[in-house]
């Protein structure tokens, strides 16, 4: 069974959502990433969405764009990312699923089969592909199904019902529910539209529904907890990676990110 399916099956029994931090691969470098992933797993992350840096982001706000730029400045390559992630997932006892957040341009350039083969060899369980239109997703979705590798697409508050139905048919593993209209980034409050989007999607699919974009505070996690299957936090954590690049004490920066993950994830464990 795919590790994502196993995770959500277990969490259904525990009656709580998954906590899913987003972290950029290679920011400030891959050595930091490979140290950070085990640290956040210990701190309470259930799954990590690993951002594959891309020079022309579509939905990413300034914090994640800056993180991608820092990573790419050192000439980071896909093969280096896969090698670094493979080093982590090969650790004895490693069980936490990793999911790539990767532009379809990266997948297309490497070749879909080659990308999926490399991703699975590195221990990844799926990929969020934010810029793949549902109308063009069938071929990649079939390749993923053949490998038991999960393809996750995005549904936004402005997605029409007909398109949402097509998107969830192409998805596997979970559906990424965008909480706001706009780009990634920290917000003061959870959007009022989230519950309606989630309720509509519950009528279309049995897949887990995981909410991201704008989620940054324990209060946001607490509010979303009763209505979703997973909560994704990105910019609030990625902002701390900038400190890792600037500070000489990388251990302190790593602890800063880890403590933030612990504070956010503990909300989901509270009864």
Question: What CATH number does residue 138 fall under?
Answer: 3.20.20.70
The answer on pLDDT for 127 being more than 80 is yes
Does residue 30 fall inside a structural domain?
A: yes
Does residue 25 fall inside a structural domain?
A: yes
Give me the active site residues, please: 49, 60
Please give the tally of structural domains in the chain. 1
Does residue 19 fall inside a structural domain?
A: yes
Does residue 239 fall inside a structural domain?
A: yes
Does residue 194 fall inside a structural domain?
A: yes
The answer on pLDDT for 181 being more than 60 is no
Q: What is the mean pLDDT of the chain?
A: 90
Does residue 72 fall inside a structural domain?
A: yes
| Residue 155 · residue 189 · CB < 8 Å | no
Judging by DSSP bridges, how do beta strands 230-233 and 18-24 pair with one another?
parallel
Q: Which among 158, 153, 120 has a CA at the least distance from the CA of 138?
A: 153
Q: Convert the pLDDT of each residue in 49-106 to its tens digit.
A: 999 998 876 656 688 888 899 999 989 999 999 999 999 999 999 999 999 999 999 9
57/53 Cα distance (integer angstroms): 9
pLDDT at 111: 98
Does residue 174 fall inside a structural domain?
A: yes
Residues 6+ apart with CB under 8 A from 92: none
Render the burial of 38-54: b for 16+ CB within 10 Å, e for the rest: ebbbebbbbbbbbbbbb
Does residue 271 fall inside a structural domain?
A: no
Domain containing 251 equals 3-266
């Amino acid at each position: 069974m795919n590790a994502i399916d196993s995770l959500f099956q277990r969490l259904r029994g525990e009656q709580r959502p998954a906590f899913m931090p987003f972290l950029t691969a290679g920011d400030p470098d891959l050595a930091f990433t490979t140290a950070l992933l085990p640290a956040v797993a210990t701190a309470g992350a259930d799954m990590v969405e690993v951002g594959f840096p891309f020079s022309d982001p579509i939905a990413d706000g300034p914090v994640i764009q800056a993180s991608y730029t820092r990573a790419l400045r050192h000439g980071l390559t896909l093969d280096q990312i896969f090698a670094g992630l493979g080093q982590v997932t090969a650790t004895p006892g490693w069980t936490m699923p990793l999911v790539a957040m990767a532009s379809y341009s990266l997948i297309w350039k490497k070749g879909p089969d080659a990308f999926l083969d490399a991703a699975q060899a590195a221990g990844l369980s799926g990929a969020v592909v934010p810029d793949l239109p549902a109308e063009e997703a069938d071929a990649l979705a079939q390749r993923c199904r053949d490998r038991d590798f999960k393809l996750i697409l995005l549904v936004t508050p402005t997605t029409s019902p007909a398109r949402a139905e097509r998107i969830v048919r192409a998805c596997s593993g979970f559906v990424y529910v965008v909480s706001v209209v706009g780009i990634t980034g920290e917000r003061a409050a959870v959007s009022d539209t989230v519950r309606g989007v989630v309720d509509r999607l519950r009528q279309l699919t049995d897949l887990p529904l995981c909410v991201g974009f704008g989620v940054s505070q324990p209060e946001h996690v607490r509010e979303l907890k009763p209505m979703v299957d997973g909560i994704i936090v990105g910019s609030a954590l990625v902002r701390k990676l900038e400190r890792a690049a600037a500070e000489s004490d990388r251990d302190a920066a790593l602890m800063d990110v880890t403590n933030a993950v612990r504070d956010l994830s503990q909300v989901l464990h509270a009864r």
